[in-house]
Amino acid sequence: MKSKRRVVITGLGVVAPNGIGKDAFWDALVAGTSAVDWISSFDTSPYPCKVAAEVRDFRPEDFMIRKRARELWRFTQFAVAAARMAVDDARLDITPANSEKVGACFGTCLNGFEKVEESCEIVQRQGYEGLDPFTCIKYSTHAPVSHVSIDLGIRGPSMTLASGCATGLDVIKWGYDRIADGTSDVVIAGSTEAPLNSLAFATFCAVGVLSKAQHDAPKASRPYDLNRDGLVLAEGAGAVVVESLESALDRGTRIYAEITGYGMTSEAVHVRKVDYTGATLSRAIKKALASSGTGPDDVDYINAHGNSMPDYDVSETNAFKAAFGPRAYSIPVSSIKSMIGQPIAASGILQAISTALTLSEGIIPPTINYATPDPQCDLDYVPNHSRVSRVKRAMANAHSVGGTHSVLILEQSDL
C-alpha cells in the first residue's frame, strides 16, 4: 500500500440518522446518543420489526435548488449533500483548471428502492407512458456519482462501487489508488443508502436479519451484548475528500488522517452465513497491517463492523483474536452501529469518518446498549460511554453478505 505519494483525508461530509454535518454526527457519537426509533416513514404493522434509524431532519434544498432536489431520488440527494459538505470542509475549490485531476467514486447497493413500488403502480394504472422518462437513470447505481460529478464540476475519473456494507471503505481504496498512481490529485469518495421504505424493509424482514425483540427502540441495536438479536436498518450517506499530501500541504488545509493500509478478502462460504472462526476477516486484517508496514502492536483502536447479529459479532471477535493475538484484549473496539444502525453501503464510509475524527480529536465513541456480556464476545467494547484516548493508528473493518471483508488503516497525521 505504501506509494511514492502519501494520501490523506482532508474533508468530511455526513448525512446520518444522528446528525447532518460532521459536527452534529460526531457530537452525537461522543455523547452515546441513539438515533434508533420507531419507524415514522411507513406503516410497519405487517412486519415483525418496528424500528430503524431514519434521517429525519434532512432538507435537500439546503444543499441544492428546489428544482434539482425534486429531480433526484433520496439516496442521490444524500450523496450530493454529503459530497458538498466534504468539499466545503476541505476548503477545496474545483475549477476548470484543476477539474480533470479531481475524481469521484460513490457507492450504493439498494439504489432507488424507494420508488420501485410507486413506479410499478404507475405502470399498472397508466402503462409505461406514465413513467418519468428518466426513471431508469434515477434508479441506477451510477446515479449518485453522476450527480456528484455534475454538481461539483468533476471531470476526472469516476466510478461506482457496490460491495455491500464494505462499499464505504472500498471507495476510499479506489480513491487512494487513483492518487497513488498519479491519475488524480483529489478524489471525492463516498457512499449512500436510502432503504427505509416498505418494499426494501420487507426484503430484510424476509431474510430474517432484523431485530425483533421488544427492546425500547433506542436499545434495539446492541452489538456484542448477549441479548442482541439482529441488526437495525438505517439510511444515510458520507463522503470524504481523499487527497495527495502535496496537494493538501499546498492548499494549507486541515489533515484528518493519513491512509496507510488496506486489506480485502472473501469467505467463499455462503451468501448469508459467516465464517464463524473469523479466519477470513483475520486474513484481511493481516493484509492491511502488512500493506501499512505495521504489526498487531501498532493498532490503538478498532472501529468495528459490529452489526448486532449474533453470528457476525462472534465471528468478528474471533477474527480480532486471530489477527492480534493476546493484544486483542487490550485494543479498544467499538461499534457506531449501536447508535446509527446499519445503513448498508453507507456503513463503511461513516465508520471511516468516525475513525478519522477519533484520530484528530482523541476520543473513542462507545458501543452503547451493552448491558449483558456475552462469553463469546469478551473484548473491550468501550461500553456505553466514550473514552478519551490518544490514538495514533486505527483500523476500520466492514463485512458484506456473501463474505466480503474490507479493512482500512488510518494514521494520525504528523503534519
- For residue range 64-84, list pLDDT tens digits in order: 999 999 999 999 999 999 999
Q: Are 254 and 415 in contact (CB under 8 A)?
A: no
**For residue 268, what pLDDT is reported?**
82
**For residue 352, what pLDDT is reported?**
99
Residue 14, Cβ density class (10 Å: 0-12 exposed, 13-18 middle, ≥19 buried) = buried
Q: In whole angstroms, what is the distance from residue 148 CA to residue 221 CA? A: 31
**For residue 309, what pLDDT is reported?**
95
Concatenated DSSP letters of 310-367: HHHHHHHHHHHHHHHGGGGGGS-EE-THHHH-B-TTHHHHHHHHHHHHHHHH-EEPPB
* 118 Cβ contact list (under 8 Å, min separation 6): none
pLDDT beneath 50, residues of the chain? none
Q: Are 100 and 155 in contact (CB under 8 A)?
A: yes
**For residue 1, what pLDDT is reported?**
65
Nearest 5°: phi and psi at 41? -90, -15
**3-state secondary structure at position 414:** coil
Q: In whole angstroms, what is the distance from residue 349 CA to residue 380 CA? A: 23
Q: Map out the domains of the chain with their CATH numbers.
A: 7-251 (3.40.47.10), 263-405 (3.40.47.10)
**For residue 135, what pLDDT is reported?**
82
Q: Are 409 and 262 in contact (CB under 8 A)?
A: yes
Q: In whole angstroms, what is the distance from residue 308 CA to residue 368 CA? A: 11
**For residue 246, what pLDDT is reported?**
97
**3-state secondary structure at position 161:** strand
Q: In whole angstroms, what is the distance from residue 135 CA to residue 118 CA? A: 11
**For residue 2, what pLDDT is reported?**
64
* 326 Cβ contact list (under 8 Å, min separation 6): none
Distance between terminal CA atoms of the chain? 20
